[in-house]
Amino acid sequence: MEGKIIRISGPVVEAVKMRGSKMYELVMVGEEELMGEIIQLQGDRAIIQVYEDTTGIKPGESIIPTGRPLSVKLGVGLTSGIYDGVQRPLNLIKDQIGNFIKRGIKVEPLVKNKKWHFVPLKNKGDKVRSGDIIGYVKETELIEHRILVPPDFGEGILTYIEEGDFTVDEPVAKTEDKEIKMYHEWPVRKPRPVKKKFEPSIPLLTGQRVLDTFFPIAKGGTAAIPGGFGTGKTVIQHQLAKWADAEIVVYVGCGERGNEMTDVLTEFPELKDPKTGKPLMERTVLIANTSNMPVAAREASIYTGVTIGEYYRDMGYSVALMADSTSRWAEALREISGRLEEMPGEEGYPAYLASKLAEFYERAGRVVTLNDKEGSLSIIGAVSPPGSDFSEPVTQNTLRVTKVFWALDRELKDRRHFPAINWLTSYSLYLNDVKDWWSNVSEDWFSLRTKAMQILQKEEELKEIVQLVGPDALPKKERLVLEAAKMLREDFLQQNAFHEIDTYCSQKKQVWMLKICLMFYEKLLNVIDSIEFEDIRKMKVKEEIARMKIVPEDEIESKFSKIEKDIEEEIEKLQAAYVK
C-alpha cells in the first residue's frame, strides 16, 4: 500500500497511510523514487529519513514501502570498490553518467555481467549450514573471496554444486529448496552472528613505535583517535591501512571535507601493499561520504562499513575498519534529531548518542565464525572535537566504549613531532592482555615500556622547575632524566611516515631501540656522580642512537650490537679520564 507525503523538512519526510510498515524499513520516496528509511512510526504515520537531496519533492507524492530493511549486497566484486554511504558504487556511476551523481540513480553495487571463476570446496550430497564456506573465487591477487552460505540460511543437502564461470546472479550451488549465489544481502543495523567471542590477547601490529610499544590495540579491539584540524589523523589512518597486520581494510570517509576525501581516493589506489608490492586497493573497500552529501546517508555510512567488515571477518580474515570521522556522523544524528523535534541532550546531540556509539563499536571483536574459522574486526574511529576540546560529548562518549585512546596534540604538531600522539594523556587498556604475546618478542618488553613512561612522566614534572630556574640549576641526576626523555621523544617516539625505512619499524627493532635508549640512561646513572654533565652532551654515541630509526631491518643485529658496545666503551673512557 502506498503512503502519501504530508510534510518535508530537509532530509526528514512525514507520510500518512503507512499502516503495516516496519521500523527501519526501506521505502522509495516521491516520483524519482529516492531511497529512504523509516525512523519513527505512530499509528499510520511514518517519519522517513531520505538518503538523497529532497529539493523539489512536494506533499502528496507517494511513498512505496519495499518490505525490507536497509541492506548491503555482500559478494564477489566488493574488494577495490568505492561506494557512497548506502553502497552505491561511485566508480560505476561515474562510468555511466559522468562526474556528478543524479538524484534517484540506481546502480547495482556488484557488477552483474562479469563472470568469476568459482572453485567449490563442497561436494554434491554434503550437508551445509548457515555461514559455511562452499567455495572460493580469486577476486584479486591478494584476496581469495570465500563464498559463504548466508547466516540466515538454515541448513540443507547440496543437490548441485559445480566449478565454473558464473555471474553473481547465477546460482553456484543448490539445496532441495534454496539456491546459493556468490552474494547475499544483510541488514546494516543487524550484527552478523558468530559462535564465540575471544578475549583480546593478540596485538594488531602497526609498525608505528608509539602505538605498538606504548599504546597497543588488540586484534578485534577498538581505538579512538581524537585530534583537532591538522594534527595528523588522516596520516595515521593511512599508516594503519598500509602497515597494520590486517588482511582487509575498510576505510569509511564519513562526512569528511571533499578535498580530504579526494586525497584518500587518489592516494589509496597508488599505495603499494608492502608485503606483496601489489596495489593496496586490492585488499581495500572505500566508502566515501563527503560533508556536502545528504546527512542521512552519512548516518548510514558507518553501518554500511561495519557490515562489510563483518562479512570479511566471517570468511576468517583479520579486518581493520577506519572510520574518519565519527564526529561528522554524530553531527548527522544531531541534525536529524533536531528535525524530528526530539529533546536535545548535551550540546544539542540526541540523548541516545552514547548508545549509538556503543552499538557501533561493540561490533568489533576477535571471534569464532559460524564456519569455525577465526576472524577479527578491529575498529579505529577518528574523532574531530571542535577546537581540540576533548571534553565535548562525542569524544567523551567514544572514550567510554573504546579501550585505546590515541590523543593527538596540537602543541606536538606545532613542534613538528609526528605522530603527534601525546604520551601523557593517551592510554591503552589492552596492555595486560597483549603482554604475554610481546614476551615472545622480548621478556623485557613490559618493564622497558614502564621505565620509559616513568622517565617521560618525570620530565613533565621537572618542566615547571626548568622554566623557573633553567636546567643548569637542577641536580645532575635530574638533568640526566631530561636528557633521557629527550632521547626517547626524538629518537624513539618520533617516526617519519614518508621515510623509506622509518615508515615501518618491526617489533624486534622497537624493543631493541627502547633497550638502547634505557641502557644509555641507566649506565650513566651509575656513574653520574663521578663525571661532569657537559661530557654527556659531547658523547659521540648519541649520534649513533639518533640514527637507529633509519637502520635497515637486515642490519639491526650488527649495528645495534655495536651501539651497545660503544655506549659501554665511551662511559668507561669518561670514568677513566676522571680517575686520572
d(CA 378, CA 364) in angstroms, rounded, equals 5
Same domain, 304 and 355: yes
Examine residue 530 and state whether it is found in any structural domain, yes or no. Answer: yes
Which domain-ending residue is among 46, 69, 92? 69
Say yes or no: 220 and 151 in one domain. no
Q: Which residue has the cell 512525514?
A: 14
Domain boundary among 380, 397, 430: 430
d(CA 342, CA 29): 23
| SS3 per residue for 189-257 | CCCCCCCEECCCCCECCCCCHHHHHHCCCECCCEEEEECCCCCCHHHHHHHHHHHCCCCEEEEEEEEEC
Phi, psi of 47 (to 5 degrees): -110, 130
Position 60 in a domain: yes
Same domain, 104 and 243: no
SS3 content of the chain, % helix, strand, coil (to 5): 40, 25, 35
Do 575 and 504 belong to one domain? yes
- Segment 125-166, tens digit of pLDDT: 999 999 999 999 999 888 899 999 999 999 999 999 999 999
Angle between helices 295-314 and 353-361 (to 10 degrees): 30
> For residue 513, what are the CA distances in angstroms to 265, 468, 501, 537, 559?
35, 33, 14, 20, 11
In a domain, 437, yes or no: no
* Residue 165 phi, psi dihedral angles, 5° rounding: -100, 125
Q: Rg of the chain's alpha carbons, rounded to an integer? A: 28
Tens place of pLDDT for every residue, the chain, 580 residues?
A: 789 999 999 899 999 999 999 999 999 999 999 999 999 999 999 999 999 889 899 999 999 999 999 999 999 999 888 898 889 898 888 888 877 777 878 889 999 889 999 999 999 999 999 999 999 999 988 889 999 999 999 999 999 999 999 999 999 999 998 999 999 999 999 999 999 999 999 999 999 999 999 999 999 999 999 988 778 887 888 888 888 989 999 999 887 777 777 777 777 777 777 777 788 888 889 998 877 777 888 888 999 999 999 999 999 999 999 998 899 899 989 989 998 888 899 999 999 999 999 999 999 999 999 999 999 999 999 998 988 889 999 999 999 999 999 999 999 999 999 999 999 999 999 999 999 999 999 999 999 999 999 999 999 999 888 888 888 888 999 999 999 999 999 999 999 988 999 999 999 999 999 999 999 999 999 999 888 888 888 899 999 999 999 999 999 999 999 999 999 999 999 888 876 5
Count of structural domains within the chain? 4
Question: Are 341 and 409 within one domain?
Answer: yes
448, 400: one domain: no
Domain end point (choices 166, 187, 208)? 187
Helix (H, G, I), strand (E, B) or coil at 81: coil
262 plus 347 within the same structural domain? yes
Q: How many CA atoms lie within 13 A of 315 on its CB side?
A: 23
- The rounded distance, in Å, linking the Cα atoms of 452 and 454 is 5
What is residue 580's predicted lDDT score, i.e. its pLDDT? 55
Whether 382 is covered by a domain: the verdict is: yes
| 117 and 202 assigned to the same domain | no
> Considering the domain boundaries, does residue 435 fall inside one?
no
| Residues 64 and 78 reside in one and the same domain | no
What CATH number did the domain enclosing 58 receive? 2.40.30.20
Q: Is the dihedral of CA 542, 545, 547, 549 positive or negative?
A: negative
Q: What is the DSSP letter of 372?
A: S
| Spatial CA neighbour of 320 closest among 236, 423, 405 | 236
Rounded CA-CA distance 233/246 in Å is 19
Say yes or no: 347 and 426 in one domain: yes
Convert the pLDDT of each residue in 490-533 to its tens digit.
999 999 988 999 999 999 999 999 999 999 999 999 999 888 88
CATH value at residue 566:
1.10.1140.10
Whole-number Å distance between alpha carbons of 98 and 442: 55
Predicted local distance difference test score (pLDDT) of residue 405: 96
The three-class DSSP label of residue 531 is coil
Nearest to 364 by CA among 148, 234, 198: 198
Does some domain include residue 537? yes
CATH number at residue 369: 3.40.50.300
Phi/psi of residue 212, nearest 5 degrees: -65, -45
The answer on 277 and 130 residing in a single domain is: no
Are 113 and 37 within one domain? no
Give, in degrees to the nearest 5, the angle at Cα 454 between 451 and 456. 115
436 within domain boundaries: no
Q: 204: domain range? A: 196-430
Which candidate, 42, 36, 37, 39, places its Cα nearest to that of 18? 42
Q: List Cβ neighbours of 473 (8 Å cut-off, separation of 6 or more).
A: 465
